[in-house]
Amino acid sequence: MKRIIVFGSSRGEGNTALIARYLGDKLGCPVRDLNDYPMVPYAYDNVYPENDRYLALMEELVGYHEWLLVSPVYWYAMSAQMKIFFDRISQVLRHREDLLEALHGTRMWAICVSSDSDEIPGFFEPFRLSAKYLHMDYLGYLHAWGGREQQLKPAVKLRLDSFIRRLPQLPE
């Protein structure tokens, strides 16, 4: 089984990307930037532009047993990119039962990146509740932070390294 990191941020080279790529390097797993997958908000009529790559991303993601979803904190919530990613699961629920079934049992971690070390109450609830609704296994969360400069703060690096050591082994 495999794990993958997916991050959604307005800045493809900001602190969230830095943390996602650090984790990817240390864990030896791929990292996907939601900005590389053009996707529009959910459409009830299920009509999407030709260049919309949401389903292509989901078809790739269901091949992984564990997802690490990384988002900056924007106004006390996940980024717009991550929110659209979650909203589009409605499309999977209604039109791609094969993908929905493939999500069952997938393990999910949520990681946020804020501007300081104070955790944001309630930030992780949408991740946890979405995983529960989709019959995914929500394994927990990690709060990280950055600053104006795109560099890994020593305290954050220690936290990330500790998180990596605590990750459960993936089944074969």
- Whole-angstrom Cα distance, residue 28 to residue 75? 32
For residue 112, what are its two tokens?
């946020």
> How far apart are alpha carbons 8 and 71 in whole angstroms?
5
Residue 168: its pLDDT value, please? 84
pLDDT in tens, 40-86: 999 999 999 999 999 999 999 999 999 999 999 999 999 999 999 99
| Residue 31, token pair as written in the block | 């990292």
Q: How many domains does the chain have?
A: 1
The number of CA neighbours under 13 Å toward the Cβ of 55 is 17
In a domain, 64, yes or no: yes
Which domain CATH number covers 80?
A: 3.40.50.360
Decide if 72 contacts 15 (C-beta within 8 A). yes
Cα gap 56→159, rounded to integer Å: 33
The whole-angstrom separation of Cα 21 and Cα 13 is: 10
Q: Please report whether residue 18 resides in a domain.
A: yes
Q: Is residue 115 part of a domain?
A: yes
What mean pLDDT is predicted for residues 123-131? 97
Residue 145 to residue 100: CA distance in whole angstroms: 32
Q: Which residue has the tokens 């080279």?
A: 13
- End-to-end Cα, the chain, rounded Å: 5
What is the per-residue pLDDT across 133-164, written as a single tens digit (0 to 9) for each? 999 999 999 999 997 777 899 999 999 999 99
pLDDT confidence of residue 127? 98
Residue 172 placed within a domain = no
* pLDDT for 170: 76
Asked if residue 25 belongs to a domain, the reply is yes
Answer yes or no: is 171 within a domain. Answer: no
Between 12 and 109, residue with greater pLDDT: 109
Has residue 87 been placed in a domain? Answer: yes
Instruction: Look up the domain containing 82 and give its range.
Output: 3-166
Q: What percentage of the chain's residues is helix, strand, coil (to nearest 5)?
A: 40, 20, 40
Q: Measure Cα distances from 159 to 19, 62, 141, 162, 165 in Å.
A: 11, 28, 12, 5, 10
